[in-house]
Amino acid sequence: MGIEISADVGGTFTDFVVRDADGRIGLFKSSTTPGRIADGIFAGLTLIATRRGVGLRDLLAGCDSLSIGTTVATNAILEGKAAKTALICTDGFRDTLLIREGGKADTYNIFVDYPEPYIPRYLSFGVAERMNAEGGVETPLDEAAVRAAIAQMKEWNVEAVAVALIWSIANPTHELRIGEILAELWPDVPFSLSHRVSPTLREYRRFSATAIDASLKPVVQRNIAEIETRLATDGFGGILTFVTSNGGRTSTREVLEKPVYLCLSGPSAAPHAGVTLARAEGVADGNVLTIDMGGTSFDVSIATNWETPMHREGLIGGHMFGVPSVDVRTIGAGGGSIARVDAGGFTHAGPESAGARPGPACYGRGGTRPTVTDANLVRGLLDPKGFADGQMELSVDAAATAIKDHVAEPLGVSIEEAACLIALTVEQNMVGAIEDLTIRRGVDPRGYLLVSGGSAAGLHAAAIARELGMRRTLVPDVAGVLSAYGIATGDVRFGFARGLFASSARFDHAAVNAVLAELQAEGTAYLDRMRVPDARRSMVFTAEARYSGQVWQLTLRLPAARIEPGEGLAQLVEAFHVLHEQVYAVRANDPVEFTEWNLLAIGHVARDASEAVRAEPVGRAEPVLRRVFLQEIGGFADIPVFDGAMLQTGVRLTGPALVQTRLTVALVPPGCSAHVTARGGLMIEVG
């Protein structure tokens, strides 16, 4: 067995975890090239090869797998760089993407317009056709109208086509026929059919997911083709996989067929990493709150009893991508978040980011506006010569100048006080994101362990925990590459779905079991392609279910791959009653309706993910003193800086202190204490 490499392509840095055949793990970081994810990946691979004393070709020749988490899909949507896409829909439904589900972000503000639809109305083509809810043909498909729409699309230089018809989930015949016509008249244009992308009951969610999926196909195809070509040229013969929104890894085939699953590709791996590391540290209750603060964004997720919630309501740029996703809250609060003072004298940090280019002012790449990284450098919390694994030297003078010009002078405070204010501002933003995911949903964060990930988070984690009343925060040994570690230790998985209505009052066992058999065959073929041994396979069947007359469904796990008449159906209905009572405290005697059937095919990781990772030393065993400005003590103080790799298990520290490794640094604030865990992480007890 060869080495396995996992990469998380962020907006500022690309993080790597390399696992050797003997289980040893190496951690690496390289700069991301904006707009060209392949460059950042290959820069990192070259760095890894150099550090290991081999050539890139030798490294890749011995590599069994390369797994990538990327924001290419998310960035394409946010930056408006997805393909020019047209929509073919049922006549009369051209405004589905505009009206959405009837609401606005600020419901009661009549001066706020609805956001622009993902596909403009002039590129939405209604064609005469209609299926009814039972799958019968009410109106035959007007193929002439389809051909006319395609001709108009060609004139307007459309690059991708989304096809979403009403009740195609009950009978996809018309969507399939439109696909055939597109393949015949316009074989070079990529298209997406809604019943394949997201066979959900609600048309807006299905339309939106399909529109996003189609618009991403040219972008994703181009990026993956470049990566595959360069890997093949350099001798890679292993399996290339990508992380999807459900947190699992899958092959390029699934990603190319359904690129909408790349939405939240990078952030979705961090929750698994947080849970894995908490288990390894012996956390008993399974209540884990994971944060991941990178250069551009701040991601937060929560797991209760080791379970991270999934949902289908993910939004990017205000548009719902509608596929099963890990519940992650993301805001623009990273090390590169730009600070400013508004006309009223209030300080802001983010969401605008300096990114990798030009980056924070201290990078010396042309940036002149202050960022969170500049603030931490001025406070003395960062080593200017050891930043990002020693790959760049930071300029304290440039950081101080940027803070002075844009924050300190407008507020009439010192540069150091302004730097503390920037840090406090971004911490309040992060606290707000956590409160959205916890307190505003009735969850008390005080009963959770805070797992801190990302190179920038360790300096803020204890302050965040203190603000929320949390008692402990873990800065793990892999904190600097948390999402990449989540990729490395995560499962292979992909979801498959079918739309089929069934009621417990008149349950069609033959039709339902036929759908479940199709899903099982599809999942088996997928795991075969992914080379997953039988012993490491599992298949999780679920259904979207509700009481008759309800609007919303609950996700109900099925006990088996078949539903037998009599006792089998009775057990399934009873399971729904129990689930509904758990969620809503109500149990009814109404018939249960099933609207969608799903399968999650999983290939479990073979190795124990709890093995300890000890980073290479970056300095001396004894601490050195560094002059640091801390708001808690009202000024400068000389505090000890420890090399995290040299600290032995069980060593206890008293704040204020800094613990530095190759890829990250953690602050133990005044009034707090910490100890080194068996895995080499830092457990901070928040005072």
- Same-domain check for residues 553 and 644: no
Domain limits at 540? 492-603
Q: Which amino acid is at 564?
A: E
In a domain, 512, yes or no: yes
Number of domains in the chain: 3
Q: Does residue 608 have a pLDDT over 80? A: no
Q: Does residue 437 have a pLDDT over 80? A: yes
Query: What is the pLDDT at residue 87?
Result: 98
- Side-chain-side CA neighbours of residue 446 (13 Å): 4
In a domain, 141, yes or no: no
- Same-domain check for residues 586 and 642: no
β-pairing, 472-475 with 449-453? parallel
- Same-domain check for residues 597 and 631: no
| DSSP state for residue 314 in the 8-state scheme | -
In a domain, 51, yes or no: yes
Q: Are 67 and 241 in contact (CB under 8 A)?
A: yes
- Same-domain check for residues 538 and 597: yes
Cis ω before 669 (30° cut-off from 0): no
Q: Which amino acid is at 255?
A: V
In a domain, 302, yes or no: no
Query: What is the pLDDT at residue 1?
Result: 62
Question: 3-state class of 389 per DSSP?
Answer: coil
In a domain, 567, yes or no: yes
- Rounded distance between C-alpha atoms, residue 460 and residue 668, angstroms: 10
Q: Which amino acid is at 474?
A: L
What's the pLDDT band for 105 if we cut at 50, 70, 90? low
- Same-domain check for residues 597 and 630: no
Name the residue with tokens 């009202």. 634
- Can you say how many angstroms the Cα of residue 79 is from the centroid of all Cα atoms in its chain? 17
In a domain, 554, yes or no: yes
Cβ atoms within 10 A of the Cβ of 155, count?
A: 7
In a domain, 70, yes or no: yes
- Rounded distance between C-alpha atoms, residue 506 and residue 503, angstroms: 5
Question: How much is the mean pLDDT over the chain?
Answer: 90
- Same-domain check for residues 582 and 512: yes
- Same-domain check for residues 638 and 569: no
- Rounded distance between C-alpha atoms, residue 474 and residue 334, angstroms: 19
- Can you say how many angstroms the Cα of residue 118 is from the centroid of all Cα atoms in its chain? 21
Query: What is the pLDDT at residue 609?
Result: 45
Which strand (E) or helix (H) includes residue 241? strand 239-243
- Which range (72-76, 559-563, 564-568, 616-620) has the least confidence? 616-620
Query: What is the pLDDT at residue 614?
Result: 47
Which strand (E) or helix (H) includes residue 523? helix 509-529
Q: What percent of the chain has pLDDT over 70?
A: 97
- Same-domain check for residues 588 and 670: no
- Side-chain-side CA neighbours of residue 511 (13 Å): 13
Question: 3-state class of 137 per DSSP?
Answer: strand
Point out the domain boundary residue: 572, 603, 634.
603
Write out the two tokens for 416.
Answer: 């150091």
Q: Which amino acid is at 17?
A: V
- Same-domain check for residues 586 and 655: no
Each residue of 211-263: pLDDT tens digit?
A: 999 999 999 999 899 999 999 999 998 999 999 998 889 999 999 999 999 98
User: pTM for this structure?
Assistant: 0.88
CATH number, domain containing residue 570: 3.30.1490
Q: What percent of the chain has pLDDT over 90?
A: 67
- Same-domain check for residues 640 and 542: no
Write out the two tokens for 625.
Answer: 């003193």
Query: What is the pLDDT at residue 610?
Result: 43
- Same-domain check for residues 547 and 649: no
In a domain, 437, yes or no: no
Each residue of 624-660: pLDDT tens digit?
A: 999 999 988 888 999 999 998 889 889 999 989 999 9
- Same-domain check for residues 671 and 571: no
What's the pLDDT band for 620 if we cut at 50, 70, 90? low
